[in-house]
Amino acid sequence: MTATAPTIEELEAQQARLALPHFTHDDAWRLGTLLVELARERRAPVAIAIHRGPQQLFHCALPGSSADNDAWIDRKRRVVERYAESSLLVGTRFRAKGKSFDTDSRLDPDHYAAHGGSFPLTVTGVAGPIGTVTVSGLPQLEDHALVVEALERFIAGL
């Protein structure tokens, strides 16, 4: 799957339309297993994590992934938690201003990565994100696209 870089407007629209009606521990399991199924179909060597607040509700590391992917998950997730936007959107905003997230955010790049693959979990009627869903192991646009596809399918099935 080759993904093209979405615009800021497209990324903002994704976040607006991918709000969930609810998000429970069981929902985390269903979303996580859906991501695993999609990744396995593509033989994608990814790690997947879903958090609700500070609690990790789901994690899976598929063949070909490594501990480095878990570190990337943590770094991308921290960006979403700090900015309340997808990690790809945050990085895209910096690039649109001719800036580098790694140097211009003034955040430690060992702890924060504005690379695609982490997406805020929002619930309709609840202010701000309640958690994150993150994929690491593919090029950043593909990580992001996989998360968006899974959220679209998940919401369609509710």
Q: Is the pTM of the predicted complex or chain greater than 0.95?
A: yes
Classify 124 as helix, strand or coil: coil
Which ranges of the chain does DSSP label H, i.e. alpha helix? 8-17, 25-41, 67-83, 87-96, 101-104, 140-156
What digits encode the pLDDT tens for the residues 16-27? Answer: 999 999 999 999
What digits encode the pLDDT tens for the residues 118-135? Answer: 999 999 999 999 999 999
What digits encode the pLDDT tens for the residues 26-76? Answer: 999 999 999 999 999 999 999 999 999 999 999 999 999 999 999 999 999
User: Domain 21-156, CATH 3.30.450.150 — does that match?
Assistant: yes
CB distance 112 to 78 below 8 Å: yes
Classify 22 as helix, strand or coil: coil
Q: Where are the domains of the chain?
A: 21-156
